[in-house]
Amino acid sequence: MAALGNVKNTAEIIQKYQFRFQKKFGQNFLVDGNILDKIIASAQLTKEDCVLEIGPGIGTMTQYLAEEAREVVAVEIDKNLIPILQDTLSAYDNVTIINEDILKVDINRIAREHNGGRPVKVVANLPYYITTPIIMALFESRVPLQSITVMVQKEMADRMQVGPGTKDYGALSLAVQYYAEPEVITRVPASCFMPRPKVDSTVIRLTRYEKPPVEAADEKYLFAVIRASFNQRRKTLANGLANAGNLGVDRSVVEETLAEMGLSSMVRGETLTLEQFAELSGRLAEKKG
pLDDT tens digits for range 204-248 = 999 999 999 999 989 999 999 999 999 877 789 999 998 888 899
Task: Supply the pLDDT for residue 289.
Answer: 65
- pTM, entire model: 0.90
User: Both 174 and 274 in a single domain?
Assistant: no
Rounded to whole angstroms, the Cα distance separating 289 from 267 reads: 23
Residues 144 and 257 in one domain: no
Q: How confident is the model at residue 24 (pLDDT cuts 50, 70, 90)?
A: confident
| Residue 87 and residue 26 in one domain | yes
Domain residue limits at 196: 7-208
Question: Are both 167 and 88 inside the same structural domain?
Answer: yes
Query: CATH number for the domain including 94?
Result: 3.40.50.150
* Number of domains comprising the chain: 2
Assigned domain for 1 exists: no
Is residue 256 helix, strand or coil? Answer: helix
Is 70 exceeded by the pLDDT of residue 1?
no
Burial class (CB in 10 A: 0-12, 13-18, 19+), 14: middle
Residue 2 lies in a domain: no
Residue 225 is assigned to a structural domain of this protein: yes
- Examine the domain organization and report whether 22 and 54 are in the same domain: yes
The verdict on 110 and 81 lying in the same domain is yes
d(C-alpha 121, C-alpha 255), whole Å: 43
CA-CA distance, 171 to 208, in Å (whole number)? 18
Domain boundary among 208, 229, 252: 208
Which tens digits make up the pLDDT trace of 36-87?
999 999 999 999 999 999 999 999 999 999 999 999 999 999 999 999 999 9
Domain assignment present for residue 213? The answer is no
Residue type, 169: Y
DSSP string spanning 56-89? -TTTHHHHHHHHHSSEEEEEE--GGGHHHHHHHT
